[in-house]
Each structure stands twice: as C-alpha cells, then as structure tokens.
C-alpha cells in the first residue's frame, strides 16, 4: 500500500497545527461550519473541558506562591469588577438592552467583559436570549430540569454543540464590527488580564518588597483563584437559580429568587423576578432585594456614561401584589 511522502506528511502536520491554532484563537472558526457544530450530539468533550481543568488546577499554585494582602485584595477587587461586567454589561446591557450607552463605551464594556473569561459578548447574549425563549425546554442549553444540575452548571460549556455564536439572535449587535471582533478573539481579554497581573506583581515585588507579593502570586490569586470563583458564581445562576429559592411569579419555568445568590452575583439571584420581566435594569424589584449591579448602573447613569435606564413597570408590581406565592 502506498504511503505519503515525508514532505506531504510534514505539510499535513503543519496544517493540522495551524488549524488547531486558528481554532484556538478564533472562536468563529469551525472547519465543518457553525451549523454542523450545532448539529453535533450534546456531550462532554475533553478538548472543551481542558481549559476549565487548567483554570482550576492553576489555583493550586497558591501552594508554592503563598499569599499576601495585596494579592488577596486584588483577587476580591477583580471578582467584584468582573462580576459586574458579566451582570451589568454582558447580561443587562448586551442581552436585554436595559439601558443605553455610546458606541465607544459599548466597546469598553465588551472588552472588560472579556476579562471574565466567559467568552465574547455576542456569544453570551445569543445563548442567554435563547435560554429565555426556551427556558426549561429540551433545547435549553443549561436547564437543570431537563439535563441535571451538573450539566446546567458546567457540563454544557464542554460541548462543541454550544460553542458557535448564533448571530441570528443578536442582529442588533452584529452591526458593530468591533463587537464581532471582540467576540471572535475573546482570548484577548484573559491574555491582557494575565499579562497585566504579572506586570503588576513584578512591579510590587521590586518597588514594594515589604508587601511580600510576587508576580506569580499575583497571577495565581488575581487570575486563577478570582476567575474560578467568578466562574462558579456566574454559573450558579444557571443551576441554583433554577433549583433553590422561592417563586414570586408563575413564569412557566423553574426560575427562583434567592438572597444568598443575589449577594454572590451582585443582584442576579432575583432570577424569578427577572424571568417575569426581563427588560428592566433592576432585578431586585423591592428596596429590600439587594441588587448591587442595579445601583452601579444608576451611578453610571448619574455620571452620564449610560442613560435611558429601564425600570420596573407599575404593572409588574400590580402582578406581584396579586400573587399567592410569597417572594
């Protein structure tokens, strides 16, 4: 049987390496086509699970780097900033257009969102809009009712079926090429964050040695630990917010309200409220329902960075007063 020449084998190897590299850096690159990828069976794939494994394993670096107050406070600060980037920018702005901003700030919002390591704003918005349209149905990518708790929390992210961006669901955003760029090359955010943390840690190591901080310690705490906690906090909305808590509104799905989850996610825990009325920038409908992301959005509105913040209509409060189910 004839075999390929060494030259052709080398070229084939190089082509495979190049294809793998392009696929790694360009989230819109699917050799088989996006529709073919979406048609694949829904299952966990080692290649898709590997980044999450690396992210979690990176936390173990604390065994060698130790800790310092500077590193821990940086991790906490980055958790809060990036959780708001997910809740305030990705969710309430890109998904639901709950307020308006300028085109340059829209780009900044998307870039900050990339550092959360939760892919691009258009992919995030397309998946979430699909979730609202088909909540708890078989096609809902992360329904714990249909596919179990673990799959809704993390498993769905390890399947190529859920990887392509459905640009048909985000036509209002596709018209901005800069957002499409961020969505395609979403790896840019994590790389910039990693480099910034390494540089920041190096600077503290040399100019403020009394803090006991090193470059790799800052990376372990600011990138790996902070991002891992952020990831699970965000994913808890898919899993816990559809299994634990109370219902105020009968929404036809299992969305629920939870104060604990609202505190962890800066307001996203009022999930039943949100499923009842999705367009509002406010998800904690009452003053006692703490919604930190909403407070920050109102602060941004006061500075003129955003405007046209959409509030909860009176009709929604009338619906709530008639419900037989406690909040």
Q: What Rg do the C-alpha atoms of the chain give, in angstroms?
A: 21
Residues 252-277 have pLDDT tens digits of 999 999 999 999 999 999 999 999 99
Confidence (pLDDT) at 13: 61
Confidence (pLDDT) at 38: 87
Separation of alpha carbons 137 and 263, rounded Å: 28
Confidence (pLDDT) at 10: 67
% residues pLDDT > 90 (the chain): 80
Confidence (pLDDT) at 4: 60
Separation of alpha carbons 146 and 285, rounded Å: 28
Confidence (pLDDT) at 1: 47
Confidence (pLDDT) at 115: 97
Residues 183-233 have pLDDT tens digits of 999 999 999 999 999 999 999 999 999 999 999 999 999 999 999 999 999
Confidence (pLDDT) at 327: 44
Domain residue ranges of the chain, discontinuous segments joined by +? 65-322
Burial of 50 per CB tally in 10 Å (0-12, 13-18, 19+): exposed
Separation of alpha carbons 232 and 240, rounded Å: 11
Give the 3-state DSSP-derived string for 122-144, with helices as H, strands as E and coil as C: HHHHHHHHHHHHCCCCCCCCCCH
Confidence (pLDDT) at 324: 45
What pairs with residue 100 in β-bridges?
307
What DSSP element (H or E) covers 101? strand 100-101
Instruction: Say which residue the tokens 């009968």 belong to.
Output: 250
Residue 200, C-beta contacts closer than 8 angstroms, at least 6 positions apart: 74, 218, 222
Q: What is the mean pLDDT of the chain?
A: 91
Output the pTM of the full model: 0.91
Confidence (pLDDT) at 187: 94
Residues 265-317 have pLDDT tens digits of 999 999 999 999 999 999 999 999 999 999 999 999 999 999 999 999 998 99
Measure the CA dihedral 228/230/235/239, to 10°: 90
What pairs with residue 257 in β-bridges?
246, 270
Residues 22-72 have pLDDT tens digits of 666 788 888 888 888 888 888 889 988 999 999 999 999 999 999 999 999
Separation of alpha carbons 115 and 191, rounded Å: 8
Which tokens belong to 108? 């900044």
**Closest alpha carbon to 314 in 277, 262, 281, 271:** 277
* Residue 18, pLDDT above cutoff 60: no
For residue 137, give the DSSP letter.
Answer: S
């Amino acid at each position: 049987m004839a075999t390929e020449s060494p030259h052709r084998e080398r070229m084939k190897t190089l082509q495979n390496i190049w294809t793998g590299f392009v696929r790694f850096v360009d989230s819109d690159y699917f050799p088989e086509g996006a529709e073919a990828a979406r048609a694949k069976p829904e299952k966990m794939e080692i290649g898709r699970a590997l980044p999450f494994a690396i992210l979690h394993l990176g936390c173990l670096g604390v065994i060698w780097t130790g800790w310092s107050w500077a590193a821990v406070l940086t991790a906490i600060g980055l958790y809060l900033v990036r959780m708001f980037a997910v809740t305030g920018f990705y969710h309430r702005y890109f998904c639901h257009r709950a307020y308006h901003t300028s085109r340059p700030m829209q780009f900044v919002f998307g870039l900050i969102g990339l550092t959360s390591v939760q892919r691009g704003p258009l992919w995030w918005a397309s998946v979430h809009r699909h979730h609202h349209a088909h909540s708890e149905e078989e096609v809902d990518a992360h329904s714990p009712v249909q596919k179990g708790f673990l799959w809704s929390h993390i498993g769905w992210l390890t399947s190529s079926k859920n990887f392509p961006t459905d640009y048909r669901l985000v036509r209002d955003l596709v018209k901005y090429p800069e957002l499409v760029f961020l969505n395609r090359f979403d790896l840019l955010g994590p790389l910039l964050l990693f480099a910034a943390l390494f540089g920041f840690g190096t600077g503290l190591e040399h100019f403020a040695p009394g803090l006991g901080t090193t470059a790799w310690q800052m990376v372990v705490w600011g990138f790996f630990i902070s991002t891992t906690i952020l990831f699970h906090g965000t994913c808890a909305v898919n899993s816990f917010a559809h299994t634990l808590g109370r219902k105020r509104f009968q929404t036809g799905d299992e969305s629920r309200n939870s104060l604990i989850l609202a505190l962890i996610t800066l307001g996203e825990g009022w999930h039943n409220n949100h499923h009842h009325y999705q367009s509002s920038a406010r998800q904690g409908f009452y003053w006692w329902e703490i919604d930190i992301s909403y407070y920050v959005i109102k602060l941004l509105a006061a500075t003129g960075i955003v405007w046209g913040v959409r509030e909860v209509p009176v009709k929604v409060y009338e619906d709530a007063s008639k419900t037989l189910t406690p909040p």
